[in-house]
């Protein structure tokens, strides 16, 4: 094995790439080899004692694993893929990372530069294809361009609003020779990732908050990305303001705190949705007013003054007009705001949320977690999982009913302990993302909560778990339906269940084929012991729980409705 020589030395372009990753302190790579990236894999062979490579079973598995890795570690996930189908198989995950602000560095091999544009074997214009869904991308055709491109890629991916970048490297650039020297990128002309915060706007915001009778904080993913959890808590406590979370903002605010009033959105809690249209000042921190949060924007918080904290200028006034816009990092902005805020008590305003919680408990939660039905319900499974794990697990979900149920009933004690696909809603995300999360945090419990549909989209990644001995726990809520689509078909399409019922395989037998222990349960009396067994396993473990097949997720804000028209049943 080679040692990284930091002195100027002649190497191939492929080795220059590997050395660049080491200079960026990369430890882990997720990838799949192929013809156009073979020189890079050959160079990697000499550095296997310094870089861990995880061989996935499909490039989509690599990109989602890198997302899970990044979301729990705070470091950019790194992906290798070959040209053509290898590169195009990354696109869904890249789009997912772009909309959910996840920093990734994707390295794709490309045909030799003299073949570009000739429709050569496994040639695609991956730069053109990925341009709409990357923060930045580039094609490199010379060996000496590789190190500067990688330095720029890491800088862009991790600064400002994070996101995915892609570096496409032709095969001749990988074979070519260059004198290796690495200089970290610290600035780029015309790129200003850290806007200077306008102190006058901070003072205006403070005045509005100090004079408010019914202020309300909406906490988004940006709080976690800027590590502003402590500042948010101090602000909320000083001003006695209720805090609700978006899907990706979950775990940014302590769930047991008296000021935490729940989860926003289509299947969020009753109080936060209803009270959005009763507050007088709406304080949005690191969130982008996604349609799943606002529903009908023409009926959204029309009575309120809106203060929007946001690092990406394109998000300000895009959906909900801001009365005061504070452009900049959330942590820095809250640090400036806190001294300007007066200590207050808002007992009457908070009481309204308490009353909503009582209504939701009686009409929805009580029967969901302690059902009278014979069959197990999704909510009781997640509630039991939460209680047994004491809210300490890193939970990675796929997309669907189980995702909404997990978001509602699992209470995350630590920041960045929920990993889920928010903006794009990518089925198949959960299993590979859990692999990446476990690689990043090997000493923590990582549990993938999956539906039977999404699990089968990337089920082949059980092979990655087997080969790399990754102790991911898998909890499959099996209702033999594409549950979220079926719920809509029931409520809005007269129960016309068009192609949503699923005949599923024996998941436990499949897992056994990959050397993974598992158990399937159908009875309530077996649930607690089975969850204990899953969590206590030192190796990967799959627990399949057969749940009621026509269970619905409530509350619900129907498409086109106002958030105050949220229904409980």
Where are the alpha helices (H) located in 373-460, listed in sequence order? Answer: 378-389, 401-409, 430-440, 452-457
Catalytic site residue from 287, 484, 502, 556: 484
Catalytic site residue from 122, 344, 460, 467: 122
**How many CA atoms lie less than 13 Å away from 411 in the CB half-sphere?**
12
pLDDT on residue 411: 96
Rg from Cα positions in the chain = 24
Predicted TM-score (pTM) above 0.85: yes
Specify the length of the chain in residues. 569
pLDDT on residue 457: 98
If you average pLDDT over every residue of the chain, what do you get?
Answer: 96
Q: At what angle do helices 13-23 and 146-158 cross, to 10 degrees?
A: 30
Known catalytic residue: 59? yes
Dihedral-angle region of residue 470 (phi above 0 means left; psi in -120 to 50 means alpha; beta otherwise): beta
Residue 4 has pLDDT above 80, yes or no: no
DSSP 263-331: E-STTS-HHHHHHHTT-SEEEEES----HHHHSSGGGSSTTSEEEEEES-GGGTTTSS--SEEEES-HH
The residue behind tokens 């002309």 is 189
Known catalytic residue: 489? no
What residues pair up with 396 in beta bridges, in sequence order? 419, 448
Mean pLDDT of 376-385: 97
pLDDT on residue 5: 65
Catalytic site residue from 6, 10, 48, 121: 121
Residue 349 has pLDDT above 70, yes or no: yes
Mean pLDDT of 226-231: 98
Known catalytic residue: 473? no
pLDDT band at 1 (very low <50, low <70, confident <90, very high): confident
Known catalytic residue: 121? yes
225 three-class SS = helix
Each residue's pLDDT tens digit, 538-551: 999 999 999 999 99
pLDDT on residue 106: 98
Nearest to 430 by CA among 467, 389, 395: 395
Percent of the chain with pLDDT over 70: 99
pLDDT on residue 297: 95
- Three-class DSSP labels, 514-530: CCCEEEEECCHHHHHHH
pLDDT on residue 215: 98
E-strand ranges in 184-292 read 215-219, 243-245, 260-263, 281-285
Mean pLDDT of 390-396: 97
Q: CA–CA separation, 385 vs 390, rounded Å?
A: 8
Each residue's pLDDT tens digit, 92-129: 999 999 999 999 999 999 999 999 999 999 999 999 99
pLDDT on residue 196: 96
Hey, what are 185's tokens? 């990128």
Mean pLDDT of 32-50: 97
Each residue's pLDDT tens digit, 327-338: 999 999 999 999
User: Is the distance from CB of 505 to CB of 438 less than 8 angstroms?
Assistant: no
Domains and CATH numbers, the chain: 10-179 (3.40.50.970), 199-353 (3.40.50.1220), 374-546 (3.40.50.970)
Mean pLDDT of 191-217: 97
**How many CA atoms lie less than 13 Å away from 279 in the CB half-sphere?**
30
132: which residues sit within 8 A by CB, 6+ positions away?
Answer: none
30 secondary structure, DSSP code: E
Catalytic site residue from 152, 171, 384, 438: 171
Catalytic site residue from 59, 145, 332, 380: 59
Mean pLDDT of 305-318: 97
Mean pLDDT of 514-522: 98
Each residue's pLDDT tens digit, 250-288: 999 999 999 999 999 999 999 999 999 999 999 999 999
DSSP 88-154: HTTHHHHHHHHHTT--EEEEEEE--GGGTTTT-TT---HHHHHGGG-SEEEEE-SGGGHHHHHHHHH
pLDDT on residue 2: 74
Hey, what are 355's tokens? 């009353």
pLDDT on residue 9: 82
pLDDT on residue 420: 98
How many other C-beta atoms can be found within 10 angstroms of the C-beta atom of residue 123? 18
Q: CA–CA separation, 212 vs 453, rounded Å?
A: 46
252: which residues sit within 8 A by CB, 6+ positions away?
Answer: 219, 220, 221, 223, 224, 228, 229, 232, 245, 415
pLDDT on residue 8: 62
Residues 257, 261, 265: CA angle, nearest 5 degrees: 140
């Amino acid at each position: 094995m080679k040692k990284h020589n930091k002195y100027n030395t002649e190497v191939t372009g492929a080795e220059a790439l590997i050395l660049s990753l080491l200079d960026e302190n990369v430890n882990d790579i997720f990838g799949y080899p192929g013809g156009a990236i073979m020189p890079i894999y050959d160079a990697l062979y000499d550095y296997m004692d310094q870089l861990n490579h995880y061989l996935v079973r499909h490039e989509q598995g690599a990109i989602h694993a890198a997302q899970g890795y990044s979301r729990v570690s705070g470091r950019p996930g790194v992906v290798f893929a070959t040209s053509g189908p290898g590169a195009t198989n990354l696109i869904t995950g890249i789009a997912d990372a772009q909309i959910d602000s996840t920093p990734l560095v994707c390295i794709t091999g490309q045909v030799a530069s003299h073949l570009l544009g000739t429709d050569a074997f496994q040639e695609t214009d991956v730069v053109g294809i990925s341009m709409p869904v990357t923060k930045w991308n580039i094609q490199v055709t010379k060996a000496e361009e590789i190190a500067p491109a990688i330095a720029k890629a890491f800088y862009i991916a991790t600064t400002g609003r994070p996101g995915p970048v892609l570096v496409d490297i032709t095969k001749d650039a990988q074979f070519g020779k260059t004198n290796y020297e690495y200089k970290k990128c610290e600035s780029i002309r015309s790129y200003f990732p850290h806007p200077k915060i306008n102190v006058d706007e901070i003072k205006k915001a403070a005045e509005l908050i100090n004079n408010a009778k019914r202020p309300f904080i909406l906490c988004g993913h940006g709080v976690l990305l800027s590590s502003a959890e402590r500042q948010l808590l101090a602000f909320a406590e000083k001003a006695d303001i209720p805090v609700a979370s978006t899907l990706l903002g979950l775990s940014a605010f302590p769930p047991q705190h008296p000021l935490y009033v729940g989860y926003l959105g289509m299947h969020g809690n009753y109080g936060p949705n209803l009270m959005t249209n009763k507050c007088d000042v709406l304080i949005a921190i690191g969130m982008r007013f996604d349609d799943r949060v606002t529903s009908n924007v023409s009926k959204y918080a029309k009575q309120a003054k809106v203060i929007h904290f946001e690092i990406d200028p394109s998000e300000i006034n895009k959906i909900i007009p801001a009365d005061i816009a504070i452009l900049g990092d959330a942590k820095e902005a809250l640090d400036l705001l806190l001294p300007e805020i007066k200590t207050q008590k808002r007992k009457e305003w908070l009481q309204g949320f308490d009353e909503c919680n009582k209504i939701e408990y009686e009409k929805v939660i009580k029967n969901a977690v302690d059902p009278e039905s014979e069959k197990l319900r999704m909510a009781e499974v997640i509630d039991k999982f939460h209680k047994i794990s004491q809210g300490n697990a890193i939970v990675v979900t796929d997309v669907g009913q189980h995702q909404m149920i997990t978001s509602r009933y699992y209470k995350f004690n630590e920041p960045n302990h929920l990993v889920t696909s928010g903006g794009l809603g990518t089925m198949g995300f959960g299993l590979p993302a859990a692999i990446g999360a476990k690689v990043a945090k090997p000493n923590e419990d990582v549990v993938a909560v999956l539906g039977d549909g999404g699990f089968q989209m990337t089920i082949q990644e059980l092979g990655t778990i087997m080969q790399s001995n990754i102790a991911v726990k898998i909890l499959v809520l099996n209702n033999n339906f594409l549950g979220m689509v079926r719920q809509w078909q029931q409520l809005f399409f007269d129960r016309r269940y068009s192609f949503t019922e699923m005949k599923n395989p024996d998941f436990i037998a499949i897992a056994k084929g990959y050397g993974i222990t598992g158990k399937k349960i159908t009875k309530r009396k077996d649930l607690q012991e089975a969850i204990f067994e899953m969590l206590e396993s030192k190796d990967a473990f799959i627990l399949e729980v057969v749940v009621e097949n026509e269970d619905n997720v409530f509350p619900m804000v129907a498409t086109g409705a106002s958030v105050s028209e949220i229904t409980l049943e």
